[in-house]
Structure 1
Amino acid sequence: MSHRFHLVLPWLALSVAAVLVAPAHAATGEDDAVFFRRAASCVAVLERDAVSLAGRYRAGERAVKPSLVKLTEQGFSFIGRAYLRGLRKDEADRLTEEAKQVQQTMPADALRQLSTGCQAEGTRLYADAGSLEQMLVSNRARARVDKLLAKK
């Protein structure tokens, strides 16, 4: 398989499963736009937290791995839900990059509050997903964590 296919396959599998098992969503375009920005903000802060935990893991603190997997599951839950609501990769990448820029200027307390809220919301999104979607999210999260921990 080509390298490009390996990058697309997880997104394809997650989106197909999500369409099959997720409840229908009847929000307006404005509701979706608000959710997309929130999802991007949460993905950005959860990714930041995951990178920090990965550093602690590589420094010898092995007990953080379950928390790292959970953070990554929460992030993938936002990604899956946003995809179901119509957000596609190019726009998601743009919104996430904007969120990262904003977060660079946020005080530490505000970032902690954002992270805490996003973790709670990500946990709810994961819990609301069907079992097939949860399985796919968990599998992708574990694979992402393994890749993150393999980086030097």
Structure 2
Amino acid sequence: MFRRLPCLILPAVCLTTAPAHAAGTDADALFFKRAASCVAVLERDATEMAGRYKAGDRSVKPALVRLTEQGFTFIGKAYLRGLRKPEADRLIDEAHAAQKAMPADALGQLSAGCRAEGAKLYADANGFEQMVVSNRAKARVDKLLAPKKPG
């Protein structure tokens, strides 16, 4: 769900911020792992919310947009710190695998922490970054919630 974002919007975000680090630090590596873990759990939450929406609960759409903004914000911040696609995909795959073995209460705690952290990252972003992330998140949610076209 979130993996396609960097190639679509993040180059524009990079124009307004410091360049990505050429060589990652230990702090970057820790952030990349955390971001991947958060993106994975937020993807899971988004899939669940989309299912509720499609089952008739239209009230979840604003929360789904916020959730998607938070996930895209993690991706954007990781990109700006130097994470690129092959490594990002590997980290997200590892996070998905690790989360399959987690009990529901641990996943709930992870989700709550990631939502709070994602909201703070979004709030700390500049206006242009917020605009780009919000625009892409709304488009992604609209695509996610669109009825399937008969094939």
Could you tell me the TM-score, scaled by structure 1's length?
Answer: 0.87
Distance across 1 between alignment mates of 2:27 and 2:14: 19
How far apart are 1:147 and its partner, in Å?
Answer: 1.3
Given residue 118 of structure 1, which amino acid in structure 2 is its aligned partner? C
What's the counterpart of residue 18 of structure 1?
13
Distance across 1 between alignment mates of 2:104 and 2:17: 35
Alignment counterpart, residue 75 of structure 1, candidates 71, 76, 80: 71
Q: Is the 8 A contact 1:13 1:136 kept in 2?
A: no
The answer on 1:116 being equivalent to 2:119 is no
Equivalent residue runs for 1:1-152 within 5 Å: 11-12=6-7, 14-22=9-17, 29-150=25-146, 152=148
Q: Is the 8 A contact 2:46 2:64 kept in 1?
A: yes
Q: Is the 8 A contact 1:22 1:129 kept in 2?
A: no
Distance across 2 between alignment mates of 1:113 and 1:24: 33
Unpaired runs of at least 5, structure 1: 1-6
**Deviation string for 1:72-112 (max 9, x for gaps)?**
00000000000000000111111001100000000001000
Distance across 1 between alignment mates of 2:18 and 2:122: 13
Give % identity: 64
Label 1:89 to 1:28 Cα distance change in 2 as closer, same or farther (>3 A).
closer
Q: Is the 8 A contact 1:46 1:72 kept in 2?
A: yes
Could you tell me the TM-score, scaled by structure 2's length?
Answer: 0.88
The farther-off stretch of 133-142 and 17-26 is 17-26
Distance across 1 between alignment mates of 2:147 and 2:61: 15
Cα RMSD (Å): 2.1
Distance across 2 between alignment mates of 1:125 and 1:96: 19
Larger % of helix: which? Answer: 1
How far apart are 1:23 and its partner, in Å?
Answer: 5.6
Unpaired runs of at least 5, structure 2: none
How far apart are 1:14 and its partner, in Å?
Answer: 2.8
Aligned length: 145
How far apart are 1:151 and its partner, in Å?
Answer: 5.4
Secondary structure (helix, strand or coil) at the match of 1:37 reads helix
Label 1:90 to 1:151 Cα distance change in 2 as closer, same or farther (>3 A).
farther
